[in-house]
Amino acid sequence: MQLFLSGGPVLVAIILISIYGLYVFFERLFKLSKERSDSDTLMARVNASVSERDLEGALVACENHGGPVARVLKAALQKLPYGRSAVEAAFQDASLQEEQRLTRGLRPLATIAQVSPLLGLLGTVTGMIIAFSEISQQGTGNPSVLANGIGQALVTTAAGLIVAIPTLIGHNYLASTVDKILIEIDRRREELMANVAQAVASRKEPRRSPKSPRADEVQLMNEDFTGSL
């Protein structure tokens, strides 16, 4: 308590933003841990469905799998009958939405990591002001009069660094996790487009099954992608 009181109001501000930073970090960590980033099984099912011209089957595979990669692929597959430009636009829009969803909370953490040392520096300055004010009033004969100001300067500086260092580490860890997911989305995008091109080029006849797309839908897939890919 004495240490807390010696830090003054600046230390209170540092403690408050550190609590908020802890909340943001663990909330985002929990959210990201629930997002499925393993896409090998998903792509195997989607590629098999695309090869068989089973658009509905590919959509069902994305729906059942879940996760950022599946959501982006589903958005693109829904536009598959309308041609390459529509698919590319769907990919771009869905990827942007996923990026915004995944990076939510990273900016506040970065702000806390930057502001905490500045608050510590502010506490240092205010502590030294208090110390020199005491010197001007009581002189330098009694060193104990400087304890309050110097104590505030040292405590707030240390507190700012104690908050900033782990916050920066946590931010970088979450940012690295998000980057891996976004790279995986982009990689699977290229894989899907290549498989669609291969399926169209092969000119296989669609199978008439409950999961097969309609014949006119398959014809649209052929016409719209043949000249583009």
**pLDDT tens for residues 114-162?**
999 999 888 888 877 777 676 667 665 566 666 666 777 788 888 899 9
**28 vs 170: CA distance, rounded Å:** 10
Mean pLDDT score across all residues of the chain: 80
**92 vs 78: CA distance, rounded Å:** 14
CB 49 within 8 A of CB 147: no
pLDDT at 139: 61
Q: Give mean pLDDT, residues 55-71.
A: 89
pLDDT at 168: 95
Backbone angles phi, psi at 186, to 5 degrees: -65, -40
**81 vs 48: CA distance, rounded Å:** 17
- Global pTM value: 0.76
- Count, in order, helices (H) and strands (E) of the chain: 8, 0
Selection from 193, 176, 165, 191 nearest residue 79 by Cα = 193
DSSP state of 140: S
Residue 227 has pLDDT above 60, yes or no: no
DSSP state of 141: S
Residue 198 has pLDDT above 90, yes or no: no
pLDDT at 144: 63
| pLDDT interval class at 201 (50, 70, 90) | confident
Give the residue, 204 or 25, on which the prediction is more confident: 25
Residue 222 has pLDDT above 90, yes or no: no
Backbone angles phi, psi at 103, to 5 degrees: -90, 0
**pLDDT tens for residues 74-106?**
998 888 888 888 888 889 999 999 999 999 989
Give the residue, 166 or 217, on which the prediction is more confident: 166
- Domain spans of the chain, in order of start: 2-222
pLDDT at 228: 35
| pLDDT interval class at 4 (50, 70, 90) | low
pLDDT at 208: 44
